[in-house]
Amino acid sequence: MSLTLHTHRFSSNGQKAQLMLDTVGLDYSVREVPFEAERADWHVAVNPMGGIPALVDGDFHLAESNTILRYLADREGREDLYPRDPQQRASIDWVLDLWALVVRPALFSYESAQYGIVIGLGAFAKDAAPEAEVQEKFDKAVPKLNQAMQVLDPVGPWACLGHHTIADIAATPVLHRLVHAPVDLSQVPRMQTWAEACLATPEWQALIPSCGVPNR
């Protein structure tokens, strides 16, 4: 069956779905969704909520980036990325939930300042804030980020289970942004170690030019 990913090249959620497709070695096409607040009818027909990304797999439609990661791992039998063992799978799900519910909200004010994010319009909808303001907003997130990193495997570098999983794939695009932002990531040393491993994967390195990930 043909796979089509509805995404936008600057969407970190879309980037992680695309990274997953590349990691499991699937052929797919990309249909770019404009960042306008009013989503196009052809996209809403796939995801009524209008969010990015969405995946079309033949007659099957799916949205929400972490759900797409889980689906593709199961679809391709990649138990290395998302094991069937309930405790191992739960460890990955814990990191995915932590990332979505704790880490991303903690980072949002920094990302909004650095990338000119406007809700409904996405990145670069307004001018970036001065670097000092970006660092100040990141500094406020540091205690929450260090607390969250205690959930990760303390040895590392991967999030859990001692190897690369969908928990790492889910975090990679935002970790890339952090590494290239005017912030001191050494304030969150476990996140810095995690980022170094995730950003070095060949699939991510290959994806950077095609999806327009900002190196800033």
CA distance 180 to 175: 9
Contact between residue 127 and residue 133 where contact means Cβ atoms under 8 Å apart = no
61, 91: one domain? no
**Cβ-count burial of 5 within 10 angstroms (0-12 exposed, 13-18 middle, 19+ buried)?**
buried
pTM of this structure:
0.91
Residue 119 is predicted with a pLDDT of 55
115, 200: one domain? yes
Contact between residue 69 and residue 19 where contact means Cβ atoms under 8 Å apart = no
137, 199: one domain? yes
Residue given tokens 């949205």 in the structure block: 63
CATH code of the domain containing 50: 3.40.30.10
Residue 215 is predicted with a pLDDT of 46
Helical pair 166-179 and 104-115, crossing angle rounded to 10 deg: 40
71, 100: one domain? no
Residue 80 belongs to a domain: no
CATH code of the domain containing 141: 1.20.1050.10
107, 25: one domain? no
Residue 215 belongs to a domain: no
Strands 60-63 and 54-57: antiparallel
Identify the CA nearest to 33 among candidates 19, 16, 46. Answer: 46
Record the tokens describing residue 183, joined without a space.
Answer: 């912030």
183, 97: one domain? yes
What single string gives the DSSP state of each residue in the chain? --EEEEE-TT-HHHHHHHHHHHHTT---EEEEPP--SS--HHHHTT-TT--S-EEEETTEEEESHHHHHHHHHHHTT-TTTS-SSHHHHHHHHHHHHHIIIIIHHHHHHHHHHHHT-BTTTBTTSSPPPPHHHHHHHHHHHHHHHHHHHTTS-SS-SSSSTTS--HHHHHHHHHHHHHHTSSS-GGGSHHHHHHHHHHHTSHHHHHHHHHHT----
Contact between residue 128 and residue 114 where contact means Cβ atoms under 8 Å apart = yes
Contact between residue 153 and residue 162 where contact means Cβ atoms under 8 Å apart = yes
Tens of pLDDT, residue by residue, the chain (216 residues): 689 999 988 889 999 999 999 999 999 999 999 876 678 899 999 999 999 999 999 999 999 999 999 999 999 999 999 999 999 999 999 999 999 999 998 887 777 666 655 555 555 555 555 677 778 888 999 999 999 999 999 999 999 999 999 999 999 999 998 898 888 999 999 999 999 999 999 999 999 887 655 544
Contact between residue 62 and residue 11 where contact means Cβ atoms under 8 Å apart = no
Identify the domain containing residue 38 by its residue range: 3-75
Residue 81 belongs to a domain: no
Number of domains in the chain: 2
